[in-house]
Chains A and B, each alone.
Chain A
Amino acid sequence: NAGVTQTPKFQVLKTGQSMTLQCAQDMNHEYMSWYRQDPGMGLRLIHYSVGAGITDQGEVPNGYNVSRSTTEDFPLRLLSAAPSQTSVYFCASGQRLHSGNTIYFGEGSWLTVV
């Protein structure tokens, strides 16, 4: 998990509150993404970015916003937290896969919405 830093690691929110999960990488990777992991469902893609200024939706984007103003940072914003957003969130970064590089994940952010 070296090189991808997520903060905070744990957070409890009340329904309706907003917050931002931070993600930073120091490997000069072009690609960054956010996944959530729920029991029995594997990791599902929320939003992703192929470079600074470029973002797009993944499989489960509703209730989340992202921006990519720099190569290093890719914050995930929860606009109005709901209990259904209780999950573990993982940020990932990588270069183009077919060059033989791969994707690195952060250590995760555990979010509970009450």
Chain B
Amino acid sequence: DQQVKQNSPSLSVQEGRISILNCDYTNSMFDYFLWYKKYPAEGPTFLISISSIKDKNEDGRFTVFLNKSAKHLSLHIVPSQPGDSAVYFCAAIHPFTGTASKLTFGTGTRLQVTL
């Protein structure tokens, strides 16, 4: 049972445009969400997070939006740069069964930023 879903395996965006990566979840008890970026042959690196008490969080070019009623979050990258080409994972934490040790990951979306 995939509780966190990233339905787009890949996305191609032109440099300078907006990249929008989507993530859906089924467990309404998740209360904290994170986005990770992963380059080949490296570990995931943290990008941005959001608590369920917020609906938006910004950090530079990266903004995460959370729609709790739709159980949907999205990561916006503006403007997209070639160095953003990577696999992006969303992850979620359950407040009772989850801790910083236990993330539930989506399957990832491969973003390619073209020149």
Q: How large is the interface on B (under 10, 10 to 19, 20 to 34, 35 or more residues)?
A: 20 to 34
Most chain A beta carbons < 10 A, residue from B100, B101, B106: B101
CB-CB contacts below 8 Å: B75-115 with A: 89, 91, 93, 99-108
Provide the A11-40 mask, 1 if CB < 8 A to any CB of B, else 0: 000000000000000000111110100001
- B46 and A103 within 8 A (CB): yes
Contact B99 A42 (CB under 8 A): no
A75 cross-chain contacts in B, Cβ below 8 A: none
Whole-angstrom CA separation of A43 from B43 in the bound complex: 11
B22: CB under 8 A from chain A? no
What's the Cα separation between A4 and B46 when bound, in Å?
A: 13
Rounded to whole angstroms, the CA-CA distance of A58 and B94 in the bound complex is 13
Say whether B43 contacts A42, CB under 8 Å: no
A43 engages B103 (CB within 8 Å)? yes
B16 within 8 A of partner (CB): no
Tell me whether B100 and A97 are in contact (CB under 8 A).
yes
A residues 80-112 touching B (CB-CB < 8 Å): 90, 92, 94-98, 101-108
A70 at the interface (CB under 8 A from B): no
Q: Using a CB–CB distance below 8 Å, which chain A residues touch chain B?
A: 1, 4, 29-33, 35, 40-45, 48-50, 58, 90, 92, 94-98, 101-108
29 contacts between A and B (CB under 8 A): A1-B43, A4-B43, A29-B100, A30-B100, A31-B100, A32-B101, A40-B9, A41-B107, A42-B4, A43-B44, A43-B89, A43-B103, A43-B105, A44-B105, A45-B102, A48-B99, A49-B101, A50-B101, A90-B44, A95-B100, A96-B99, A97-B32, A97-B49, A102-B46, A102-B100, A103-B34, A104-B46, A105-B44, A108-B42
A-B contact sample (16 more), CB < 8 A, given A98-B32, A105-B45: A30-B100, A31-B101, A33-B103, A35-B105, A42-B6, A42-B106, A42-B107, A43-B44, A45-B103, A45-B104, A48-B99, A48-B101, A50-B99, A102-B34, A103-B100, A108-B41
